[in-house]
Structure 1
Amino acid sequence: MRVDKFLWCVRYFKTRNMATEACKKGQVRVNDAVTKPGKEVYPMDKVMVRKNQINYEFTINDIPKNRVGAKLVDIYRTDTTPKEAFEALELLKYSKDYYRKKGTGRPTKKDRRDIDDFYDESE
């Protein structure tokens, strides 16, 4: 089965076109090699998919005939994604809470109070 179709079948991507685009951008690796969307995958291949700033890693157990339900996905793959990847995403979310985008103007009164409270707590 093609790698883009497999990723769509096991619900890593919502559409097959999104899976194809990810392969073209180099976000999908099979056995540590960047692949094209038409690359054939077989059981026991190791696949790495970069999605939402997380490197999902899994091993293929079996090839489905078509798209499977969310409860049946674990039959076809074994997830080997390290826990640190998800923890890094949580830290990234917290760091973005206090980041102000350039050009948003001066801080509001509430922003100023939050900044003052933050500095008062750190002292």
Structure 2
Amino acid sequence: MVLPAGGLLLAAGVAGLLAGSGRGAAVVAWGGVAELLLAAMSLKAWKKGRRSVGAAITSLQTGIAAFLSLRLYRVFLASAKPAARIVHGVLLAIAGSLLVFLVYNLLAGGNPPKRAQPGEEP
């Protein structure tokens, strides 16, 4: 879930920057970049069976998602125009969903590494 959510946040941040939204859009874009990079690192660690590294990366992702959710919530509340409220509400829903997923993942103990089936190479 982190890869698509990070990609959406990055795309929305870039679109906001192109539309002249300023610093807030840059924060969302950089948050999306950070989520994508950490997701790639987490996937790599998962494939190698490194659960502790994956848990540390997931913790970082959770912090970023919490920060973005809080920022977007504040911007959503301050938005006066209906179109801006819709855009910020959608981004808040994405970041909030990502946060819930990551917290669940941490509490559940993460994703266990894939075990090789008989006859498969690890």
Q: Which has the higher strand share?
A: 1
Q: TM-score with structure 2 length normalisation? A: 0.26
**Which entry has the higher C-alpha Rg, 1 or 2?**
1
Q: Which has the higher helix share?
A: 2
